[in-house]
Structure 1
Amino acid sequence: MQLRAGTLRPGQRLPSIRDEAQRLGIGKNTVVEAYLRLVGQGILQAKPGSGYYVVRTPPAATQEHKIPLVAATDRVSLLAEQLDRRLPIRPGDGRPPTEWLETSELRRYLSYQRFQEADSYNSSWGYAPLRERLCGALAERGISCRESQLLMTHGANHAMDLVIRRYVAPGDNVLVDDPGYYPLLAKLALAGANAVGVNRMQDGPDVGDLEAKAKKSGARLFFTQSLAHNPTGGSITFGTAYSVLRAATEFDLLVIEDDPFADILPYTAPRLAALDQLDRVIYIGTFSKTLAGSFRTGYIAAAPRLASELNELKVVTTVSTSAHDERLIFQLVEHGHYLKHLRRLRARASTATTASVKALEALGFSIRRPIGGGFYLWIELPEHMGGDDLAHDAAMAGIFIAPAANFSTSRNPPPAMRVNVAYGADPSFIGWLGDQVNRR
């Protein structure tokens, strides 16, 4: 307080640790920690044998920079809002709430474990015991994978970035789900590639559209999310999966299958990688949707040659992934904490989905089945709710929404919205949405 008020000025010596502890009636260790934090912030300077001196005064609270409120009307602002979290009501968020991912039990374990083990650089492929465990998890999903075929990444986005850097050149046509994963569209644009949208149905990609677009575009890659699709919430059926792989063979497509919710979905759910056995499918998994997003831990499973090529690129671009995070995740799995956490997460998602569907159907929306078991619902909006104004209106009410334009290769897709089931029944969101629907 004295520093902010200007009572203590640059060059002045602070009271000794003993005097300050006696004055405040606290332990000397508490004073030491406070002084050291101020040294770390560049506010104090420690002079051995002399004491602590003021170097500069901290800015007043009124001078702190505030991030301006911006509606999520494009892919960059949509991603930025998910990180900055400025709007309190969050049906447009792509992630589950923090309290879903960090229960008190899990948080206590992580706090204890985080600095229990230290190491130098990780293996270029990632922490071996975790990779072995993941190969076992893939086997349960019907995917045969050796450790030499699996490399760790900094989450699913890093995995996609590696695939794009290695196999996509500027000007290439690349097939994607439409609507589909919006950060992928931004990555392809950054690489100078042309994203060609394949109509996404509730039971998977429209196979006829996939075949037509593959033939016309000459594309060699197809990015898709088979299960609990982001943003529509739908999941592929076995029949559609077989047809997608038949088209991939006919048009020589490399298929990149993203499976971010695998750990809370049935092992027996249809996966392209299981039907194909990593022949022409690259499989991407992540812990970012089921553990705290700050872990940024994911993996790629692929044919040996492709896995080796992608790992070489990883080494050149990022050297290695985090040994600390990978060890932590392995310990969570090994000791059963992760399994208990997943059970709670499934239950929360199921309860929230039921509540969200009920609230949205009460407004007249038709929610397509199957929902898929993930975190998303897709609602088609009345024609008058199209355009950027909707996101601006929501932001003014403190509501973060994710309109269809962010997820499509089309500039003017039909009005729609992704809804995170964790927030879909929020009374403030439902009230606002009902008002918007009733406007003519």
Structure 2
Amino acid sequence: MSQRQTRINVVMEAIRSRIASRSYPPGTRLPSVRAQAKAMGVSVSTVVEAYERLAAEEVICARPGSGFYVCGPVAPLALSEIGPPLDREVDPLWVSRQSLEAGASLLKPGCGWLPAAWMYEAGMRRALRATARADAAVLSDYATPLGLPALRQLLARRMAAADIEARPEQLMLTESGTQAIDLICRFFLEAGDTVLVDDPCYFNFHALLRAHRVKTVSVPFTPNGPDVEAFEAALREHSPRLYITNSGIHNPTGATLSPVIAHRLLKLADNTNLVIVEDDIFADFEVSPAPRLAAFDGLSRVIHIGSFSKTISASLRCGYVAARADWIDRLADLKIATSFGGGQLASAILLAALTDSGYRKHMEGVRIRLAEARNKTIVRLDAIGITPWIIPQAGMFIWCRLPRGIDAADVARSCLREGVVLAPGNVFSQSQDASGFLRFNAAQSMDVRVFDTLARVLPA
């Protein structure tokens, strides 16, 4: 293929990508051929030929005297096309799919969950047997709009132990923590609104926010929480509608929010329209509980969410939202509109598992195993020149810095060819400023082959 043919294809693919990401919806007038040529650094004749070929494919259409326009119905939403172009190895959707699709032969130190053998299997089996004996309605009927009352009462008591005051009617059950965030985004956001996230943060936040067509602005994360000065500047400059964070064990860094930072964040949020979404999915991994924004705020502007997919079962899809009663009432309407009543079965099984006498002891054992796994993983990584950003005090994640000059995406590509799935830093970074980092899941890093593979692929 000649250089000119290649340049024509580049222009065509750029236009197709913008149509797929809905940056160019139907009816959009494309830049003039001269403007497009200048923007892409190609000749006018190259753009003319690219536009003519796209018109021949009926992707765009020419209007004499006016220019070229996008034609046809709106393109099916392609999340991977939204945002800056990334190598597939540093795309959050790619990492999720690799981890979820990986067979038993692949090692997954980059995934975000415990090995199946670490989960509450015995308690789940008891809960399944107990639920199988429940009334027929539990096995077959829709749930009430807010979800199983007994589980909401239990969750309210658990939250009270963390100094979060929430009545059962301030809690709504969801299909998962992710669905909880999705409903909150649907409730508060319009396309083009701004959402603040930590940098780095859980990579699926990025993917979910893409689907809502909002502007994402990141705030650097420190060992004690978000950078307060950067947070204040972002509030002033962007007037964000939401801020989504973990204030317990932070994903991916393993850090925890300090009380001082928590108070300063809430003070900065006063007199703004900011709503804070606090994802507390890792609460049961904590040894010493970190402060909760929802406790300081009294569920005024903070929405507290969680689930038990990381501790009991990822197959059991059940999460929750705790918020102001008027917000919960309207979120329940939105839940009905998008998933109708939801099911009772998962919440009944979860209730049985949480009230089982073995859950507390099981989690004590998991916390001990995780502490041992973190220590071993840090030692093994240090031997090959990979160092932790901080030493986490709880949880499964270790955010690690690679030797200077090594790109995590290159390491991830090389390791994948040898059957090891990694999570490179820029997957978690809106600013794309974490190319020298990897997130390790200590519980999934017990196989020595992980470190042997890393040692082979790292440059000498």
Q: What range describes the TM-score normalised by the shorter chain of this pair?
A: 0.7 to 0.9
Residue 115, structure 1, aligned to residue 136, structure 2:
no
User: Could you list the per-position Cα deviations for residues 353-399 of structure 1 after superposition, in whole angstroms to 9, with x for gaps in the alignment?
Assistant: 12112222233333244514111000112344316332221111100
The question of whether the paired residues in 1 share the 8 Å contact of 2:402 and 2:408 is answered with no
**1:99 has 2:120 as partner:** no
**Distance in 1, Cα, partners of 2:334 & 2:274:** 21
* Amino acid corresponding to residue 175 of structure 2 in structure 1: H
Q: Relative to 1, partners in 2 of residues 1:282 and 1:173: Cα closer, same or farther, differing over 3 Å?
A: same
Residue in 2 that maps onto 1:382: 403
> Which amino acid is 1:418 matched to?
R
SS, match of residue 175 in structure 1: strand
RMSD of aligned Cα (Å): 1.9
- Given the alignment, which residue of 223, 228, 238 partners 1:202? 223
Query: Which amino acid is the alignment partner of residue 148 of structure 1?
Result: E
TM-score with structure 1 setting the length: 0.80
Counterpart residue identity of residue 117, structure 2: E
Matched with 1:15 is none
Pair 1:223–1:108, CA change in 2 (3 A):
closer
Structure 2: tracts of 5 or more residues without a match: 1-86
Contact 1:202 1:370 in 2 (8 A): no
The aligned amino acid for 1:398 is: G
Identity of aligned residues (%): 31
Q: Name the SS of the counterpart of 2:387 in structure 1.
A: coil
- Identify unmatched segments of 5+ residues in structure 1: 1-69
1:160-189 deviations in Å (ceiling 9; x for gaps): 100111111111111001111111111111
Partner of 2:421: 400
Q: 1:403 to 1:387 in 2, by over 3 A?
A: closer
Query: Aligned pair in 2 of structure 1 residues 111, 152: CA closer, same or farther (>3 Å)?
Result: closer
- What secondary structure is seen at the aligned counterpart in 2 of 1:294? coil
Aligned residues of 1:283 and 1:300 also touching (Cα < 8 A): yes
Map 1:90-169; keep pairs closer than 5 Å: 90-103=108-121, 105-117=122-134, 118-119=136-137, 120-169=141-190
Distance 1:273 1:341 in 2: 27
Quote how far apart the aligned CAs of 1:412 are: 5.0
TM norm structure 2: 0.76
Q: Does 1:188 align with 2:209?
A: yes
Equivalent residue letter for 1:282: I
CA distance in 1, matches of 2:151, 2:288: 19
Aligned to 2:388: 367
**Structure 1 contact 359–425 (Cα < 8 Å) conserved:** no
Please give the alpha-carbon distance, in whole angstroms, between the structure 1 residues aligned to 2:300 and 2:294.
8
Query: Is structure 2 residue 366 aligned with structure 1 residue 342?
Result: no
| Cα distance, 1:111–1:220 mapped onto 2, change above 3 Å | closer
Q: CA deviation at 1:208?
A: 0.8
TM-superposed CA distance for 1:432, in Å, is 2.1
**Which amino acid counterpart does residue 100 of structure 2 have in structure 1?**
L
Between Structure 1 and Structure 2, how many residues are aligned?
369
In the TM superposition, 1:36-435 aligns within 5 A as 72-86=89-103, 88-103=106-121, 105-117=122-134, 118-119=136-137, 120-266=141-287, 268-386=289-407, 388-411=409-432, 413-435=434-456
Contact preservation (8 Å) 1:72, 1:78: yes
**One-letter identity of the residue aligned with 1:421:** A
Contact 1:235/1:370 (8 A) holds in 2: no
Tell me how far 1:408 sits from its aligned partner. Answer: 1.2
1:311: how far off? 1.5
Would you say the 8 A contact 2:287–2:367 is kept in 1? no
Is the 2:219–2:230 contact (alpha carbons within 8 Å) kept by the matching residues of 1? yes
> Cα gap change, 1:372/1:224 in structure 2, threshold over 3 Å: closer, same or farther?
farther
